[in-house]
């Protein structure tokens, strides 16, 4: 079992109490409380995690952030967002707008065609999966004609419909 964590002396115990009380939201309060409990402890991370209803790994992460960066280390933004985007959402919209009329007219537009244009526009190697993600983000759907057999005879199909017995009807 790991020994209880220690907190770097960025703030005194009194300053830490004030810092905890001034938390702007619940998440910040939880993080600050974890640091405060670690300082006044020594409480093991699993006990603090149990009392705050978070994971033990979160407690170790928060204490590590506080120890390395001080109080500002816990006030960072989350990891959400598009970190691997090659174009902004607005740039993607303008890129797709060029193909909107072509797609509305029913002309064939494939992901391979868009892929080549995107590679040219961004100057990077992109996967076709990136193109499919772009289309999904902007709510483009895969629409195509209903498949037909190459030797299908529409007249023969109509004759069959008219001359077939009504065996499906109840007697």
Residue 3 maps to a domain: no
* Count of structural domains within the chain: 2
Structure tokens at 152: 């299908």
Residue tagged 């600050």 (tokens) = 32
Residue 2 maps to a domain: no
Residue 18 and residue 71 in one domain: yes
Q: What is the pLDDT of residue 167?
A: 61
Residue 19 and residue 58 in one domain: yes
pLDDT tens track for 67-124: 998 888 888 766 777 777 889 999 999 999 988 888 777 777 888 889 999 999 999 9
Residue 95 maps to a domain: yes
Residue 158 maps to a domain: no
How many other CB atoms are there within 10 angstroms of residue 126's CB atom?
A: 16
Residue 66 maps to a domain: yes
The upper half-sphere exposure of residue 131, i.e. CA atoms within 13 Å in the direction of its Cβ, equals 20
Segments forming the whole domain that contains residue 26: 13-75
């Amino acid at each position: 079992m790991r020994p209880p964590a220690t907190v770097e002396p960025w703030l005194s115990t009194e300053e830490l109490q004030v810092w905890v009380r001034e938390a702007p939201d619940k998440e910040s309060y939880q993080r600050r409380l974890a640091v405060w409990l670690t300082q006044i402890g020594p409480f093991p991370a699993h006990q603090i995690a149990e009392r705050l209803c978070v994971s033990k790994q979160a407690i170790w992460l928060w204490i590590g952030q506080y120890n390395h960066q001080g109080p500002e280390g816990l006030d960072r933004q989350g990891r959400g967002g598009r970190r691997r985007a090659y174009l902004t959402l607005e740039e993607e919209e303008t890129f797709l707008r060029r193909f909107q009329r072509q797609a509305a007219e029913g002309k064939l537009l494939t992901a391979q065609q868009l892929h080549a244009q995107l590679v040219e526009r961004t100057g990077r190697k992109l996967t076709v999966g990136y193109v499919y993600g772009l289309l999904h983000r902007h709510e483009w759907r895969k629409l195509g004609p209903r498949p037909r057999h190459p030797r299908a005879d529409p007249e023969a199909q109509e004759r069959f419909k008219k001359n077939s017995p009504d065996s499906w009807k109840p007697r």
